[in-house]
Amino acid sequence: MTDGFNKKVSRRSLLKSAAVLAGVAAVPGLMATKQALASKAPKAAMQYRDHPNGNKDCSICMQFIPGKSPKANGTCKVVAGSISPHGYCIAWAPKA
């Protein structure tokens, strides 16, 4: 009788421990993912430049966040730093 009780308790304890361990193990991975999503790529890594590539420039890229005026620098969702509306990088993608 007590063996069955101990087995139940042991199984329950084991499952709780496994759940806690899985949660602990998942947190650093989750934080790393959030951090990766929050950080932007350096300009050099994205081959950013302050001039267009033909008719492709940041002002018509879906990642561009405009500045205070159409000629002012803005920011980018994926590239770090101040971004010229007439810049370009390898992540360029047309606005929908």
Query: Which residues bind to ligand SF4, rule: CB under 6 A?
Result: 48, 58, 61, 63-64, 76, 78-79, 83, 87-89, 91-92
Task: Give the amino acid at 48.
Answer: Y
The residue type found at 28 is P
3/76 with CB nearer ligand SF4: 76
What amino acid occupies position 31?
M
H helical segments located in 2-76: 2-38
Q: How far is the CB of 53 from ligand SF4 (least distance, A)?
A: 8
Nearest approach, Cβ of 47 to ligand SF4 (angstroms)? 9
State in angstroms the smallest separation of the CB of 78 from ligand SF4: 5
Euclidean distance between CA atoms 58 and 43, whole angstroms? 13
Count of CB atoms situated within 10 Å of the CB of 92: 19
Question: Which CB sits closer to ligand SF4, 67 or 78?
Answer: 78
